[in-house]
Amino acid sequence: MTSTLEKKEIDKITVIAPDPSWESEVREAAMRSIVTKPGKNWWIAVSLLSLVVVAGVGAWIYQLKHGMNSAGYNDQAFWAVYIADVVAFIGVSYGGAVVSAILRLSGQSWRAPLTRLSEGMALVTVLIGGAFIFPHLGRPERFLNIVAYPNFSSPLVWDFIAIATYTLATAIFFYLPLIPDMAVAKNLVDTGGKRARLFSILSLNWMGTKRQRVLLHRVLTIISLIIIPLAVSVHSVLSWAFALTSRPGWMESVFPPYFVIAALYSGTALVIVTIYAFRKGYKLERFITDRHFVRLGYMMAALGLVYAYLTVADMLTEGYTGITTGWIQQTITGKYAIPFWFYVIAGEIVPIALVVMKKTRNATGMTVAGVLVVISLWVKRIVIILPAATQPLISGQWGSYHFTWVSITVTLAGVAAIPLLLMILFRFIPLMSIDEMEDAGPLGSIEQISKETLKAAREESIPEPSKEESK
């Protein structure tokens, strides 16, 4: 028999919002992007962003016609801006997914208004980051060779496997929590309309029964548990694409955690920027408060300190030996000194100061810090890649990479594609997780489902499916 206490806990699985006005407020706010017609500013923003994306596609076509040199590449700078884009975009995706997964697993109720936006951001950026592999390849049709003739000795094959697996996990992680919201959304849009039909299909006829909730909770816990090591593996494998070469500056054992922390750092920063933009655009201040930004800001600052530590560890270890220090000299005082010190100031000192100072510890301060981190971490990737890539191993002459309008336009297209895809995505998807918000209540007092509750639900309250049902 289930004890009274356990029964109460089971009831918490289907917490109905205690305050009906809260429920209606949440639904109205979350559905704002779907129900209201887009305004003039939305159309202007979408048009401008689309133009940048189209220009980027045009620049890529030009590059296909004229060769990689049109993007600044040459035989002495064979890896440059596009691989930095791949690392940076997939990195921010990782941050979005892991932030959401960690908060979900640790039962942080304050996550409720943030998860949808961070999971959406994770999905969009991994798709864009993955797409940057094609301009990086130069001959995109050769991409098929990685599938047809995989060389398992190459980290690039494992990169492909890891990114594909992570993309699948991110897509599932985005869709599953959406199911209860789709059931709500289908009743809030025009009945019989296209969107109602779409929402109806995506909702899987969700009714919000206890058994459905336990099932969804259990599956989401599994996916959350998988997505964290998966994201770690993606960025570790990405780092091994560098670290397994015999290039000074890349062949570093610290690279996997270095890349993972950079991804988390920049990802948390982009989560802050994303939620700030949507909060402002759809007036969600009632739900996404300064408290959310400050908590994310603390996470970001902690990750920033770890990243600074790893940067010093990387340079000190190799620099102290004095054997292959050309890239360090180039980075600190040479050709790449300006971007490196830009990272130190704009990517570490200023953001951490903004978090530490009470005066700036608010939504605007954290967003400024987030923007600085996102930009400077992209610059940092360039600083990691170029000195080592252009370092001479045979000739003694440093190579040089020069930015061209092609590489700049293609990169800007990727940057523009993030807000563009998010704006379009959230025309069809609620901005916040209605189900989680309603469970959390106005004070964010969502209860964690204990192991005992799940056990009780599995053993007694929820019978195993019958044979007919299984069929």
Binding letters toward other proteins, positions 387-416, x by CB under 8 A: -----x-xxxx--x-x--------------
Helices 81-105 + 405-425 axis angle, to 10 = 30
Please state, in angstroms and rounded to a whole number, the distance separating the CA atoms of residues 82 and 56: 13
200 counts as binding other proteins under rule CB under 8 A? no
Residue range at the interface with other proteins (CB under 8 A); choices 100-108, 163-171, 320-328, 443-451: 163-171
| Cα–Cα distance for residue pair 461/108, rounded to 1 Å | 26
Q: Which residue's CB is nearer to other proteins, number 41 or number 246? A: 246
Establish if 161 lies at the interface with other proteins (CB under 8 A). Answer: yes
Cα–Cα distance for residue pair 374/365, rounded to 1 Å: 14
Find the binder of other proteins among 131, 172, 368, 425 (CB under 8 A).
Answer: 172
74 binds other proteins per the rule CB under 8 A? yes
- Residues 246-285 within binding reach of other proteins (CB under 8 A): 246
Q: Which stretch binds other proteins (CB under 8 A): 31-39, 50-58, 207-215, 410-418?
A: 207-215
CB of 335 to other proteins, least distance (A): 12
User: Is 149 an interacting residue with respect to other proteins (CB under 8 A)?
Assistant: no
Tell me the angle at which helices 290-321 and 255-281 cross, rounded to the nearest 10 degrees.
160
Specify the residue, 58 or 319, whose C-beta has the smaller distance to other proteins. Answer: 58
Query: Which range in 70-78, 251-259, 288-296, 357-365 contacts other proteins by CB under 8 A?
Result: 70-78
How far is residue 88 CA from its own chain's centroid?
10
CA 144, 146, 148, 149 torsion-angle sign: positive
Nearer CB in complex with other proteins: 26/223: 223
Paired with 74 in beta bridges are: 77
Work out which of 39, 67, 107, 193 binds other proteins, going by CB under 8 A: 67
- Which of 149, 153, 190, 358 binds other proteins (CB under 8 A)? It is 153
Q: Are 381 and 266 in contact (CB under 8 A)?
A: no
Position 38 contacts other proteins (CB under 8 A): no
Shortest Å distance, C-beta 462 to other proteins:
10
Q: Does 158 bind other proteins (CB under 8 A)?
A: yes
Total of chain residues touching other proteins, rule CB under 8 A: 48
Measure the CA–CA gap between 189 and 195, rounded to whole angstroms.
Answer: 7
Give the residue among 416, 414, 407 at the shortest CA–CA distance from 62: 407
Output the CA torsion sign for 324, 327, 330, 331: negative
Q: What region does 67 belong to: left with phi over 0, alpha with psi -120 to 50, or beta?
A: left
Q: Nearest-5° angle of CA 142, CA 148, CA 153? A: 90
Q: Does residue 168 touch other proteins according to CB under 8 A?
A: yes
Three-state secondary structure of 222-243:
HHHHHHHHHHHHHHHHHHHHHH
- Residues numbered 429 to 468 that lie near other proteins (CB under 8 A) are 465
Provide the mask over 291-310, with x wherever binding to other proteins is found by CB under 8 A and - wherever it is not.
--------------------
Helix%, strand%, coil% for the chain, nearest 5: 75, 0, 25
Q: How many CA atoms lie within 13 A of 32 on its CB side?
A: 18
Q: State the minimum distance, in angstroms, from the CB of residue 17 to other proteins.
A: 20
Residues β-bridged to residue 77? 74
The position carrying tokens 């987030």 is: 370
Nearer to other proteins, 166 or 265 (CB): 166
Residue 424 as a binder of other proteins (CB under 8 A): the answer is no
C-alpha span between 128 and 411 (Å, rounded) = 10
Q: Decide if 127 contacts 209 (C-beta within 8 A).
A: no
Q: Does 201 bind other proteins (CB under 8 A)?
A: no
Instruction: Answer yes or no whether residue 70 interacts with other proteins by CB under 8 A.
Output: yes
Site for other proteins in 214-233 (CB under 8 A): 215-216, 219, 222-223, 226, 230
Q: With contact defined as beta carbons under 8 Å apart, do 231 and 92 qualify?
A: no
Interface residue with other proteins among 212, 239, 330, 391 (CB under 8 A) is 212
176 binds other proteins (CB under 8 A): yes
SS (H, E, C) 145-162: HHHHCCCCCCHHHHHHHH
Which two three-digit tokens encode residue 367? Answer: 């967003």
The correct pick among 29, 53, 68, 328 for binding other proteins (CB under 8 A) is 68
Q: Which of 7, 12, 195, 211 binds other proteins (CB under 8 A)?
A: 211
- Taking the complex as a whole, how short is the minimal distance between the CB of residue 463 and other proteins, in angstroms? 10
User: What does the DSSP assignment read for 343-388?
Assistant: IIIIIIIHHHHHHHSGGG-SHHHHHHHHHHHHHHHHHHHHHHHHHH
Contact footprint for other proteins (CB under 8 A): 65-70, 72-76, 78, 138, 152-153, 158, 161, 165, 168-169, 172, 175-176, 179, 204-207, 209, 211-212, 215-216, 219, 222-223, 226, 230, 246, 392, 394-397, 400, 402, 465, 469
